[in-house]
Structure 1
């Protein structure tokens, strides 16, 4: 036999009866059923006992001294824990009036006297089980309601045949309505939809609801308190318990989710500094533009824009100023172009069709660092590109104002045209960048259209870069030396170490053709370290031969920034046992403004080693008296561009004599480069230049040829 009796153990029953015999019989019966029994004699005691120690079920007599069972039941229901506890009333009154009054007082059920104690045990246990089920349902409903509140989720129902409509409290809350709002039909929901969307949403709803197909829809509403919200609705057609069709529609406020999605989109597709679209956006958007151009047989231009010498700005004035300048540049360029609707709305949901016709627009994108890309669409020829670029260059001519400095910036721009220069994203970007690098090689501050010959130049550059790597491994480099001559006695007092590439097929390659490439690829550090070692080694050899000379070695900005530069200098001196006083390091003027504080610190540490420091090519860059006074320089080298025009250009001769006089005042030794004529030599002697070097005495010589020259020097007549 199957036992259907619910298993209720350890449940506590509060028996309230002023009849002691009755309580005894009830206690014995219920305890045998596994229930825990607690007893009180009056209604007052019952209320106090339950307040302190709530029971699982209450068995309450109606007629008692003091307050009766009806009043006791009503009072128990007022307690925080008494709202849902089962209360079974025992009464000898079997009339309708008493039973009605019992239920009005809050009774769950009633038992008439005389009591059938066997049935009482079963009845109490089933009552407990029913209450457990009720509590679980109530708890689940509470959790569901709370979850719906958190998720801002409600629902509405519409019985099509009976035309009855119900909307949940949470759905009313989403609409900004009170719980007492009385909506009678789904049609009333349309009144909350934004005016510009109402007609299309109404049509969609009508078609969907009458097609008997489940559907989902997103739209915006304006609530009764004028708040715009994003709404998601999901509708499902079901049958109720009577087999009648009804729509069950969940409605959710997804406003916060939409805001979060928008933030994610901005993080993924937009540059946080300039608020411009980023590289990820470019790849997706450019693909759409290419598809459109194929469909409509259109052309467009892609411009690769790079700010000239921007690294110097960051190095000297700091990243904060650099970021401020990037924002200003982005703002100025944006004013010159036709801003896309897609950008102003921040909307990346471009039309899904392969072919679409967007508004006339130009799109500025920041790739990163100081690199930008500009897309010019809806143009008819490359001729239309030039006025736009010229407009951009014009607005960039005005000074940029920052907290630290006012400065002028220029850009180099490369332009590739679809479809002539490429028909896919990667090719177009590569060609535009190639043209931009060509603009930099042409002197910067200009724009260049891509042409096929640039491919040849780039290939040659890549080949050269590859060969440069191998040249270091194969030791194809040589150090050449050009003597430095002291003017009073034409005595050789030192030499400048100059690197040459002895290519196995092309012969000697000038540093003009590979030093900049070495700097861009960081090979300059390996090469510079090797030159320093060789120069110290050869100088020590000549010392042993009786030629006490000082060697000057060029130090690039890239090398100077390396953290191991001091260690490399010390190592070269120690490895070759060369005293520091016989080594001079030449730096260019660019070092003076690229991270002033760091450069000053490093040069000061180099000076502590005992090495001399010279400023090379003076007068061609950014030098000022303040820099000359602050930095620990020993030597100033006049650039050969001044020397070349001494005989024909009064300005060059005036500047050169002024530089020599300035150096004397600052106790700096002066070296003139590029002396090729006797007239130039006489000028230097007249103005008391300390040392000279140039082809008039000797070109740069290989190690062996310079060794011979030292033993048999040649001087001009």
Structure 2
């Protein structure tokens, strides 16, 4: 099976605490199904329960929950027990492989990851799981079929221990026991004692016969007397007996009927009357001679009424679509003297105007001499099967919650719409609609409210679409509209505006109004893209731009967005590689005493260099680090490098305080103080040589939590500085309550203070505030002598900026400290 044979809705779960591995595997497995990935093994259990992946890829060594334990949880959960677990490992020990297989793993992917081998291994497991599912379905179908058979079917070992039987209800022989029997129970426990004894006796007495048949009359208290035809077949392989097949056919009705029937004609009547298909027989002129009860029911004619009438008078056939009269196959069977299948899409209308979809065939009847003496048609009602097929097709192509087209049908509609647009040289627009903050709605109000809003929104969107538009639910909280025959972009702009107004209108649940908003991304064919994949990707890009610009708006795709996206992707790759290899650069900007220009410390500033050697602006990569969750590891690496250098300088007789910036997300980590402590222990740096700079806004989220974290850091002996002071909001009571050592005036106020009185007054106020609170004050971004003069006159203690020094490497800093006057800490 190739990857194209893998069903569209197959899910693959990847769990690895290294984001880089996730990216590699997501790329390697692209196109094999829906990829769900996470770096959090604790979240993986819930993800697996929701998506029920065919294949789960687990890293063995993860910090919060190792792969072996996670594997055990998944395989012990009935909802995820069927997933194929593949471990990612760098272990080469055989014991680890034994242990992994004992936990239920099916394969390994070795580090470093070979993308092609990874894809082949996962594809193999997908194929095995798909084939296994097919076998399970086939097994279920076979069991269902056997359970519906009007005969008893069983298989026994040579010692007459049960291997299989289709007596699921346990009442085939009319036994009145409720006792639960083992699967391998003896035949004496499963069958009536006398019958079991008779079967053993027949087999024993006829050792030379592989097929035994005998009639047996069974008398039971529950079912009374039953006449059974017992068939016993020996199963022999390579001359060795491997078991017995025993079947029992209830011949009671036939036996009782034979008493009133005569010879072969009566026997034939009973046989035809007992089958589930409709049967009609005619003479050579197509006049009816026989109808079984099913045929009577489906045609609406009693046999006594229909006898002697022409087949086309009783059996009215037509095409189900065109309702044009169909040729009865019995006439063709008589004419051409061969078996003839009923026409496709054939419909039978009964005498009382009931309609049946029918299928099967007609054949001539010959006597002993081979002459045709009539014909017989056997047919059955397939109305339910066809209806079920239609229903299954609908379910496969429509979203279960909204009944809108799903991605499968959307792909087909989009393909056709683009083909028509190309022929007619017209445009079409794709609008990707994503509900803003929908996860918050589910989390706070419950999934039942979320589902209600999704259904109601689907209806509302459909009401605003033209008949030739396609609206589909792409999954989750996303909808896609394909708008055809677009004359100009203004029309689509107005349409998107109308949609947003409709979305913003309240939805009512039990009298309570619920409001939602949505961001809409729009791409145009053929202006923006000439393929389905690009059209969807560009609409997605535009939608994220709409969210980035504040949500509750729509945005058209442009090449600028694509360039921005490619640039962001490039920066993210460079950032991930740098973080993965601990290759981030750290520069240092000295901090000076503004009165005597002595160096009192320095601030560590992170820099990212791409593979070409060019520096990437922190304004580009820091937001990406925060969005992707890399900021914690990035910050930890910068802190560790800075502390190592500070320790080296201390050992060289130049103790210097290093200030390290802490991102808001990094500071919000409950374990942050422990991480700082671990860095100090690892680098052996005295804590008084480390200062942490936290932005004002990062401190204002949760007073008690923030205060506890700050106290924990302060207890380590580390100084705390509020960075960019004046750009956020903080009350004096908070500043007084927090164990803060230093304030840093934002560079924006410093640069404007010489030309803007308001900025000057702000700086002046902050200086006085710092003095009144007993805090050290540092001015950032000093670039001119005039700025330094004003700060010195305001009695600002410390400063840094290009006027004194740009950020420098460690070697340059070392030289500066050797030559300059500086304060030893």
Q: Is the contact made by 2:470 and 2:482 (CA closer than 8 Å) also made in structure 1?
A: yes
User: Deviations 1:166-199 (Å, cap 9, x if unpaired)?
Assistant: 4646995x99x999999999888989xxxxx998
Relative to 1, partners in 2 of residues 1:293 and 1:384: Cα closer, same or farther, differing over 3 Å?
same
CA distance in 2, matches of 1:187, 1:604: 97
Cross-structure match for 1:377: 484
Q: Does 1:203 align with 2:324?
A: yes
Cross-structure match for 1:712: 820
What's the offset of the Cα at 1:536? 1.0
Q: Is the contact made by 2:228 and 2:249 (CA closer than 8 Å) also made in structure 1?
A: no
Out of 591-600 and 690-699, give the one that drifted further: 591-600
SS in 2 for 1:244: strand
What's the offset of the Cα at 1:210? 6.9
Cross-structure match for 2:533: 426
CA distance in 2, matches of 1:389, 1:573: 55
Cross-structure match for 2:278: 155
Q: Does 1:289 align with 2:417?
A: yes
User: Deviations 1:238-288 (Å, cap 9, x if unpaired)?
Assistant: 335773223321114627x9569747854x555567665444443333223
Unmatched segments (≥5 aa) in structure 1: 1-33, 36-54, 59-75, 87-130, 142-151, 192-196, 342-358
CA distance in 1, matches of 2:249, 2:516: 78
CA distance in 2, matches of 1:402, 1:539: 61
Cross-structure match for 1:94: none
2:431 aligned to 284, 297, 303, which one?
Answer: 303
What's the offset of the Cα at 1:426? 1.8
Cross-structure match for 1:532: 639
Q: Does 1:365 align with 2:473?
A: yes
CA distance in 2, matches of 1:179, 1:656: 105
Cross-structure match for 2:662: 554
What's the offset of the Cα at 1:381? 3.0
SS in 2 for 1:215: coil
Q: Is the contact made by 1:676 and 1:694 (CA closer than 8 Å) also made in structure 2?
A: yes
SS in 2 for 1:423: coil
Q: Does 1:214 align with 2:345?
A: no
What's the offset of the Cα at 1:362? 4.0
CA distance in 2, matches of 1:702, 1:236: 90
What's the offset of the Cα at 1:549? 1.8
CA distance in 2, matches of 1:680, 1:165: 113
Q: Does 1:81 align with 2:220?
A: no
Choose 1 or 2 for highest CA Rg.
1
Q: Is the contact made by 1:299 and 1:379 (CA closer than 8 Å) also made in structure 2?
A: yes
Q: Is the contact made by 2:639 and 2:660 (CA closer than 8 Å) also made in structure 1?
A: no
User: Deviations 1:604-645 (Å, cap 9, x if unpaired)?
Assistant: 876776656666557767x78799699978477665556666
CA distance in 1, matches of 2:582, 2:702: 33
What's the offset of the Cα at 1:430? 3.1
SS in 1 for 2:493: helix
User: Structure 2 matches for 1:311-710, cutoff 5 A?
Assistant: 314=439, 318=443, 328=453, 331-332=456-457, 335-336=460-461, 359-368=467-476, 372-395=479-502, 413-436=520-543, 447-452=554-559, 456-468=563-575, 477-483=584-590, 494-502=601-609, 505=612, 507-519=614-626, 524=631, 527-544=634-651, 545-555=653-663, 557=665, 569-580=676-687, 582-586=689-693, 634=740, 640=747, 673-674=780-781, 694-695=801-802, 698-709=805-816
Cross-structure match for 2:362: 237
User: Deviations 1:145-179 (Å, cap 9, x if unpaired)?
Assistant: xxxxxxx965353648224674646995x99x999
CA distance in 2, matches of 1:154, 1:217: 18
Relative to 1, partners in 2 of residues 1:554 and 1:378: Cα closer, same or farther, differing over 3 Å?
same
Relative to 1, partners in 2 of residues 1:179 and 1:163: Cα closer, same or farther, differing over 3 Å?
closer
Aligned alpha-carbon RMSD (Å): 6.5
CA distance in 1, matches of 2:345, 2:601: 84
Relative to 1, partners in 2 of residues 1:81 and 1:530: Cα closer, same or farther, differing over 3 Å?
closer
Q: Is the contact made by 2:342 and 2:362 (CA closer than 8 Å) also made in structure 1?
A: yes
CA distance in 2, matches of 1:461, 1:365: 28
SS in 2 for 1:243: strand
Q: Is the contact made by 1:314 and 1:321 (CA closer than 8 Å) also made in structure 2?
A: no
What's the offset of the Cα at 1:587? 5.4
Q: Is the contact made by 1:480 and 1:499 (CA closer than 8 Å) also made in structure 2?
A: yes
Q: Is the contact made by 2:680 and 2:687 (CA closer than 8 Å) also made in structure 1?
A: yes
Unmatched segments (≥5 aa) in structure 2: 1-200, 203-214, 230-247, 259-274, 333-339, 367-371
CA distance in 2, matches of 1:374, 1:608: 58
Cross-structure match for 1:249: 379
Relative to 1, partners in 2 of residues 1:84 and 1:447: Cα closer, same or farther, differing over 3 Å?
closer
CA distance in 1, matches of 2:306, 2:696: 80
Q: Is the contact made by 2:724 and 2:745 (CA closer than 8 Å) also made in structure 1?
A: yes
SS in 1 for 2:528: coil
Relative to 1, partners in 2 of residues 1:206 and 1:331: Cα closer, same or farther, differing over 3 Å?
same
**Aligned length in residues:** 556
CA distance in 1, matches of 2:694, 2:312: 81
What's the offset of the Cα at 1:681? 7.4
CA distance in 1, matches of 2:399, 2:730: 38
What's the offset of the Cα at 1:373? 3.5
Higher relative contact order by CA 8 Å / sep ≥ 6: 1 or 2?
1
What's the offset of the Cα at 1:464? 4.6
What's the offset of the Cα at 1:290? 2.3
CA distance in 2, matches of 1:375, 1:449: 14
Q: Is the contact made by 1:317 and 1:595 (CA closer than 8 Å) also made in structure 2?
A: no
CA distance in 2, matches of 1:535, 1:598: 27
CA distance in 2, matches of 1:532, 1:180: 95
What's the offset of the Cα at 1:535? 1.1
User: Deviations 1:661-717 (Å, cap 9, x if unpaired)?
Assistant: 9999999987665455788779989999897655566543333444455563699xx
Relative to 1, partners in 2 of residues 1:279 and 1:659: Cα closer, same or farther, differing over 3 Å?
farther
What's the offset of the Cα at 1:577? 0.8
What's the offset of the Cα at 1:300? 0.7
